[in-house]
Structures are given as structure tokens and as C-alpha cells.
Structure 1
Amino acid sequence: MYQEERQQSVATLITQRGRVSVMDLADRFGVTTETVRRDLAVLERLGHIRRVHGGAVPTGSVTVGEPGLTERDGTRAEQKDRIARAAVAFLPPPGGSVLFDAGTTTSRMITELPASPNLTAVTNSVPIAARLAASSTIDLQLLGGRVRGVTQAAVGAEPLRVLGTVRVDVAFVGTNALTVAHGLSTPDPDEAAVKRAMVEAARTVVVTADSSKIGREHLISFAPIGAVDVLVTDSDIERADRTELERQGIEVVIA
């Protein structure tokens, strides 16, 4: 493969996967890590990618915007389904309490719940609350507040007030982006504040995030990486990312 062809393939792969490590690129293309770093330097100068520690991400991976709920729900749907099925293994035993953050992956968990979960569930998600309301074995507590149309999540002073008074066994939290340096991050400050309060209210924090979120950074960090107990993700996670997250003490579950 000629140098130009390899660089084009590298740029395409980074765009498709969201983040790729130098080691994985070297293995994939059968070249040295030094050659990969030179390729990445060229691609960065051309504006095709952005280099980060240990690899590269697409140029738009650090952003202040976010897609709508419908668009996000249809993105990587198969991976999100698998993550949701794996995440229910971390539900507390009957009689326990659980917090469901708003998100397209956490919402998929609702269809995977056992027939009679016998749980107290707290959520700021309108769609999740609507699906849980019909259950006779779930004590549902819906957090009020202003509802953001883009995520259908309640935000503002009211959910923060309530979350400051509760303690749950497990919180299932979604994130727009995840890195070791920037932690869990999201574009909106109001949503970040609620997510931060959810993390602080839980004894165990389980993050449900497909691998495209890993290696990306959004505007506002709502939790350091050390606040995460478990990450449930898909098999496309980069080997180097998994190793680094496990080094941070996180249990990484591949769905």
C-alpha cells in the first residue's frame, strides 16, 4: 500500500470508529508506530483528524453541539441493545433502589428488566418514566423540572434539589463522551449538573456508553473517570482504551 493510500485509509477508519490508537493502526497496516505518527501528523495538518494522547480522533470529536433524540436513538442501535441487555446484570437485588439517567441506551434497559423487579426507580427521563409507570412492582419517582426537548430530560433546580436528598444503590448513567483526562462529559451545562448530582447520589455508578463515545470530549465534564465503577460498552472499544480504563480501576464489560 502506498503512503497516500494508507493515510486515506487511516483517515477513513478514524472517521468511522471515532477514535483509533497508534498501536492498533500499526498492527492493522503492518507498519511501525513511528510511521503511524508521521501519517497522523500529515492528516492533522490537512485538517482530517485531530491527534490525542495515544492516537487520533475525528476533527469534530470535541464539540459543543448534540444531535436530537431520534437521531441518537438510531445510531449504533445494535450495540446499544447489547449494552442494555448486559447492563441489567448490575441491577440491585429486589427491594433496592436504582437511578436511570436520560439516554437512548439507558432507555433500552427498561425492556430488559425482569418481570417483577421490585425496585424503587428514580429518573429524570420522560420516556423512561412513561414506560415504568405501568409497572406494579416499581415504585417510580419522576424528577421534575424543565424538560429539554433535545433529550427529553428534566433539568434545573428541582431535580438537583431532590437528588441532593437521595441515595440510591445503583445509577445507570449515560454520557456523550468519555476520556481519562476529561472524565464523562456532555455539551449542556444544565444536563451536566443533573448528571453530576446523579453520580454523587449513587453507591455504584454504571456507565452505559457505546464505544464511539470513548476518546471523545465534550464541553463540560460532569464526573471524573474515578467516579465510574463499571463501564458497559461494545466490542469495538480500542484495546488501548480498555487497558487504560481498567488501569483506572473501572470494570469494563463488553456486550
Structure 2
Amino acid sequence: MYATERQQQILDVARANGRVEVKDLADQLDVTPETVRRDLTVLERHGLVRRVHGGAIPVERLGFEPGISDREQVLAGEKERIAKRALDELPAGGSVLIDAGTTTVRLAEMLPQDRELTVITHALPVAMVLATRPGITLHLVGGTVRGRTLAAVGPWALRDLADIHADVAVLGTNGLTVEHGLTTPDLAEAAVKQAIIAASHRVVVLADHTKLGRVDLARVAPLAAVDTLVTDSGVDAAVAAEVEEAGVRVVLS
């Protein structure tokens, strides 16, 4: 097992159980405690866990939300494949609302040069990618910019989105379950995501497998609001089946 795979497994266990212990992880992974401690140090450096005596706690349990630079380094390959597969969900022409997130930025980077689209976004990284792109008519939603996600939120953003009706919305999420639908750590971003959904004819959610089965503080929408979920092949088959039974088309990358 590569170090990155082991670290992802440690993170999955931490998120599922609420914390991890060095000794238990060493036994489960058949590695030395020193190896586990190095892995936890890497995860903490990326802003994903907080070290405590004898183990670590995922930042979600502490009320922390990783910044965009930290999240860009996590599951980069999976996000790349998800974004590439999501291109098939976009119209040949027309309008697309692109949400904030590391996977949606990758999607923006991959938009075909010869496709004419109107893109609306509240995410500064997405806007920076597309601002000079030929064939793209870009509309930037205003508001108060959150430092952690570089996304505009608040009353201005909600007013802008209320005047829009896009063909497709490409949405990111921090958590997705059948019971609680889409969730995210921040209430202001949840409100903007709700407005994006309301402003779109179709909703496509991009989420790597670690987001499925996770619940965060702020509820965005029930799964009934989602048309398609694009995720990676690491998703648990039973979880994917539950999502499909709830009426969402699941696409694996």
C-alpha cells in the first residue's frame, strides 16, 4: 500500500469513528506506530486532522473547515477523473452555473476551448480560470468572499442568483447521505448552494467517495433536488445503490 492510500484510509476511519488511535491503526494497517505518526503529521499538515495525545481527530469534529489550498492536495487523481467525466453532463451550448470547490475548478480548467457557454459562478478560482477563455461568456456573482473557499456568499450573492435560470448547475458538496441529502459546514455557503439549485434546470453534483455517507452542519437540499451524482470508483457499492434508489443517477469516473 502506498503512503497516500494509507493516509486516505486513516482519514476515512477518522471520519467514520470520530477519532483514531495510533496503536489501533498500526495493528489494522500492519505498520509501525512511527509510520502511523508520520501519516498523521502529513494529514495534519494538509489541514485534515488535528493531532491529540495517542491519535488524531478529523477537523470536522472540531468545527474546522480545511482551506482550498489544503483540499486541492487530497484525492487529486479522483477529482481529476470526476471532473473529466462530468464534462459529458454539460450542454453543447447554453448556460452553466458552477459552484465553488476544488473539483469544480478542475472542471472549469477542462472546459473545451471550442465550446460556447455562458458560465455563472460565485467562485473566484473558477472565474480566474475562465475570465480570458475564448467562447466563454462569464458572469461573476458578487458578495462577501469567504477566505476558506474563495466563494462569494451573503445577500448580494443571493440577489444575483435569484435573477438567473441556468440550463445546468454543477455543485460541490461536503457531505451526501440519503437521509440528510447535501450538507456543508458553513450556513452562508449552504444558502448560496440552495440558490444555485433553485436557479437551475438540472443539478449535477461532483463528489469524491469520501463525501458519501458524511453529514455536515448546514443542510443544503434533499437528494430529490439532485439529478446526477458524479463520483469516483472508490465509492462503496451499497452506498451508491442507495443513492440511485433515492432517484439520483450515479455516474462513476
Class of the TM-score when normalised by the shorter of the 2 chains = 0.7 to 0.9
Contact 1:61 1:216 in 2 (8 A): no
TM-score, reference length from structure 2: 0.77
Identify the residue that residue 124 of structure 2 maps to in structure 1: 126
**Offset of 1:62 from its aligned partner?**
6.2
Structure number with greater Rg is: 1
Contact 1:62 1:216 in 2 (8 A): no
**One-letter amino acid matched to 2:156:** E
Q: 1:12 to 1:128 in 2, by over 3 A?
A: closer
Contact 1:69 1:150 in 2 (8 A): yes
Identify the residue that residue 242 of structure 2 maps to in structure 1: 244
CA distance in 2, matches of 1:92, 1:127: 22
Runs of 4+ in 1 over 6 A off after TM superposition: none
Equivalent residue in structure 2 for 1:152, among 146, 150, 157: 150
- Give the alignment of 1:193-212 within 5 angstroms: 193-212=191-210
Structure 2 residue matching 1:83: 3-state secondary structure: helix
- Give the alignment of 1:130-141 within 5 angstroms: 130-141=128-139
- Give the alignment of 1:110-121 within 5 angstroms: 110-121=108-119
Contact 2:154 2:192 in 1 (8 A): yes
* Deviations 1:31-60, CA, capped at 9 Å, x for gaps: xxxxxxxxxxxxxxxxxxxxxxxxxxx985
* Deviations 1:182-224, CA, capped at 9 Å, x for gaps: 1100111111100110011111000000000000000011111
**Offset of 1:117 from its aligned partner?**
1.6
**One-letter amino acid matched to 2:190:** A
**Offset of 1:136 from its aligned partner?**
2.5
CA distance in 2, matches of 1:154, 1:233: 25
Q: 1:179 to 1:213 in 2, by over 3 A?
A: same
How many percent of aligned residue pairs carry the same amino acid?
47
CA distance in 2, matches of 1:250, 1:61: 29
Contact 1:171 1:204 in 2 (8 A): yes
TM-score, reference length from structure 1: 0.76
CA distance in 1, matches of 2:10, 2:99: 33
Equivalent residue in structure 2 for 1:174, among 150, 172, 175: 172
Q: 1:218 to 1:180 in 2, by over 3 A?
A: same
Contact 2:142 2:157 in 1 (8 A): yes
Structure 1 residue matching 2:204: 3-state secondary structure: strand
Structure 2 residue matching 1:241: 3-state secondary structure: helix
Equivalent residue in structure 2 for 1:142, among 140, 143, 146: 140
Matched length: 206
Unaligned runs of 5+ in 1: 1-10, 20-57
Q: 1:165 to 1:233 in 2, by over 3 A?
A: same
Identify the residue that residue 219 of structure 1 maps to in structure 2: 217
CA distance in 2, matches of 1:165, 1:203: 14
Structure 1 residue matching 2:133: 3-state secondary structure: coil
Identify the residue that residue 103 of structure 2 maps to in structure 1: 105
* Deviations 1:101-146, CA, capped at 9 Å, x for gaps: 0000000012211112211100001011011010121110000111
Q: 1:87 to 1:212 in 2, by over 3 A?
A: same
* Deviations 1:36-95, CA, capped at 9 Å, x for gaps: xxxxxxxxxxxxxxxxxxxxxx9859644311111101000000000000001111122x
CA distance in 2, matches of 1:198, 1:150: 19
**Offset of 1:165 from its aligned partner?**
1.3
Structure 1 residue matching 2:74: 3-state secondary structure: coil
Identify the residue that residue 38 of structure 1 maps to in structure 2: none
Contact 1:185 1:221 in 2 (8 A): yes
The alignment's C-alpha RMSD in Å is 2.0
